[in-house]
Amino acid sequence: MTAIAAIVAGDIIETGDAPISIINPANEELIVELPEADADTVDRAVAAARRSFDEGVWRTMPVEKRQAILRKCGDVIDAAVDRLADIECSNTGIPLSQIGTRQVSRAAENFRFFADYIGQNVGELYEQNPDYLTMVRREPVGVAALISPWNSPIALGSMKIASSIAFGNSCVLKPSEQAPLGISLLVSLLGDAGIPEGVVNLVNGRGMTTGDRLIRNPDVNVVTFTGGTETGRIIMRTAGEHLKPATVELGGKSANIIFDDADFEQALDGALLGIFSNNGQQCLAGSRILVQRGIAKRFVEAFIARAEAIRIGDPRDPATELGPLVSQRHMQHVMSFVPDAGSADRVLTGGRRMPGFDKGYYFEPTLVETTNDSRIAQEEIFGPFAAFIVFDTDEEAYHIANQSRFGLVSYVWSQSIARIMEAQERIEASIVWCNTPMMRELRAPFGGYKDSGVGADGGKACEAFYTRQKTVSIPR
């Protein structure tokens, strides 16, 4: 396997600093020792991006041509779906069946979406003044530093690349050092679609070294980050120090509210998908399951039966629904939330490293009955591990949902339109999914309230972030 330390203006660089051991979480075998892009390589990647932006081939290209290349990126990704899914599966342990159909297809869709979006861009024209015409134009911002996490590397990394370059920018992506393989392969393929040299660059390495060097580089104009809340604070501070606009998309602890008039089976399916897909490692996981007392007993019994029937195992097996956690360190983090014998919290199912596996970081699907003030309900566990909380009144449900430092997503299940409308107003989260799990509309913003982020992805949100406005006045 090629150990990609960086991709600079289309050149693959295989040498660098302190290597990072990339381990397959399903069998604990070493996949590759990945050299870290050193300071010089990071600077070269930014210089390549800056040069491509200044030369202007991409940003001044007729929009139809830029659209065609972005669409071709989608085709190139689709054509490589098996290779991309294979490498992503080895690196992350996410079931192959979930990567190909959801994440690689999403990556292709990200490019096609922004290709369509830029075809509809309009400026503003003010003609009220008899002596002047004033127009407001949007121009690309320049070089974007993109920093992405390990939990859906191809889907999230491609979103950042597609949304930044669609508006004419150049970029340098630094993927997570834990899961860089799939997205590095994807970047290496983009030249085949006709993206001009230097528009998309990549540096691999750790956050505090490669990532920090990247965002501090004076030739970087904007920073976008997806990852943990505490890292997000550091990124905001660094970007602020250098007066660079930054968006940070951060953690979540989303409430999944199931009212007693919900379509029971639909809500049950949604709750299971909300916490167990992507091996439970999702920012948008419905990790606090709030169920109204009248249906709580029936719900919990059905949930446990379904959770215990989940097929856990080799992520390459098409039948597998839940694979291993991404790393041993992360498994230890998840296990640190399992209540001990004397605790008031009650393990309803799971709570152990998966028995029967000699190798791999497998953890049982877990549900723990708790109160909202517990650590289990307040901290992001980021695994197949949900807090279960019973509530009596709607008021109580909103109170519990909002008693969280996070405000990313919320799920609401009820067959009453009035209840749904009330709930979506009362819940402090930037996305409320009503009787549906994980509906992603790329035109709409995907950001976070409170400690879940500042700024957002999505059509208009990306346009606002990746362009700057210029006001031009001309005498009539």
**Residue 164 or 226 having the CB closest to ligand NAD:** 226
Convert the chain into a string of H (helix), E (strand) and C (coil).
Answer: CCCCCEEECCEEECCCEEEEEEECCCCCCEEEEEEECCHHHHHHHHHHHHHHHHHCCCCCCCHHHHHHHHHHHHHHHHHCHHHHHHHHHHHHCCCHHHHHHHHHHHHHHHHHHHHHHHCCCCCEEECCCCCEEEEEEEEECCEEEEECCCCCHHHHHHHHHHHHHHCCCEEEEECCCCCCHHHHHHHHHHHHHCCCCCCEEEECCCHHHHHHHHHHCCCCCEEEEECCHHHHHHHHHHHHHCCCCEEEECCCCCEEEECCCCCHHHHHHHHHHHHHHHHHCCCCCCCEEEEEHHHHHHHHHHHHHHHHCCCECCCCCCCCCECCCCCHHHHHHHHCCCCCCCCCCEEEECCCECCCCCCCCCECCEEEECCCCCHHHHCCCCCCEEEEEEECCHHHHHHHHHCCCEECEEEEECCCHHHHHHHHHHCCCCEEEECCCCCCCCCCCEECEECCEECEECHHHHHHHHEEEEEEEEEC
Q: CB 24 → ligand NAD: shortest distance, Å?
A: 18
Q: CB 351 → ligand NAD: shortest distance, Å?
A: 22
- C-alpha distances (whole Å) from 226 to each of 46, 236, 293, 455 are 20, 12, 36, 11
Quick check: is 249 catalytic? Answer: yes
Using Cβ positions, the residue closest to ligand NAD within the complex turns out to be 207
Phi, psi of 450 (to 5 degrees): 50, -135
- Calpha distance 33→144 (Å, rounded): 28
Q: CB 398 → ligand NAD: shortest distance, Å?
A: 22
Q: CB 84 → ligand NAD: shortest distance, Å?
A: 18
Q: Is the backbone of residue 321 left (phi > 0), alpha (psi -120 to 50) or beta?
A: alpha
Q: Which stretch binds ligand NAD (CB under 6 A): 245-253, 334-342, 348-356, 431-439?
A: 245-253
Count residues contacting ligand NAD (CB under 6 A)?
Answer: 32
**Residue 147 or 166 having the CB closest to ligand NAD:** 147
Q: Which stretch binds ligand NAD (CB under 6 A): 27-35, 129-137, 170-178, 431-439?
A: 170-178
Candidate residues 7, 45, 147, 222; the one interacting with ligand NAD per rule CB under 6 A = 147
Please name every residue paired with 137 in a beta bridge, in sequence order, or none if there are none. 470
Say whether residue 215 binds ligand NAD (CB under 6 A): yes
Q: CB 392 → ligand NAD: shortest distance, Å?
A: 30
**Residue 229 or 366 having the CB closest to ligand NAD:** 229
Question: At a CB cut-off of 8 Å and minimum separation 6, what does 459 contact?
Answer: 113, 117, 442, 443, 444
Bridge pairing between strands 170-174 and 124-126: unpaired
Candidate residues 38, 212, 314, 364; the one interacting with ligand NAD per rule CB under 6 A = 212
Say whether residue 227 binds ligand NAD (CB under 6 A): yes
Say whether residue 247 binds ligand NAD (CB under 6 A): no
Say whether residue 140 binds ligand NAD (CB under 6 A): no
Candidate residues 35, 149, 323, 324; the one interacting with ligand NAD per rule CB under 6 A = 149
Catalytic residue of the set 36, 88, 177, 249: 249
Candidate residues 10, 191, 194, 228; the one interacting with ligand NAD per rule CB under 6 A = 228
Tell which positions 384-413 bind ligand NAD, by CB under 6 A.
Answer: 408
Q: CB 234 → ligand NAD: shortest distance, Å?
A: 5
Say whether residue 461 binds ligand NAD (CB under 6 A): no
Site string for ligand NAD, 416-455 (x = CB under 6 A): --------------------------------x----x--
**Residue 10 or 445 having the CB closest to ligand NAD:** 445
Site string for ligand NAD, 266-305 (x = CB under 6 A): -----------------x----------------------
Q: CB 125 → ligand NAD: shortest distance, Å?
A: 35
**Residue 95 or 227 having the CB closest to ligand NAD:** 227
**Residue 268 or 326 having the CB closest to ligand NAD:** 326
Q: Which stretch binds ligand NAD (CB under 6 A): 31-39, 98-106, 221-229, 410-418?
A: 221-229
Residue with token string 């799971």: 350
Candidate residues 140, 153, 251, 360; the one interacting with ligand NAD per rule CB under 6 A = 251
Say whether residue 182 binds ligand NAD (CB under 6 A): no
Candidate residues 53, 117, 150, 433; the one interacting with ligand NAD per rule CB under 6 A = 150
Whether 97 contacts 318, CB under 8 Å: yes
Which chain residues interact with ligand NAD by CB under 6 A?
Answer: 147-151, 156, 174-177, 206-208, 211-212, 215, 226-228, 231, 234-235, 249-252, 283, 380, 382, 408, 448, 453
| Positions marked active-site | 249
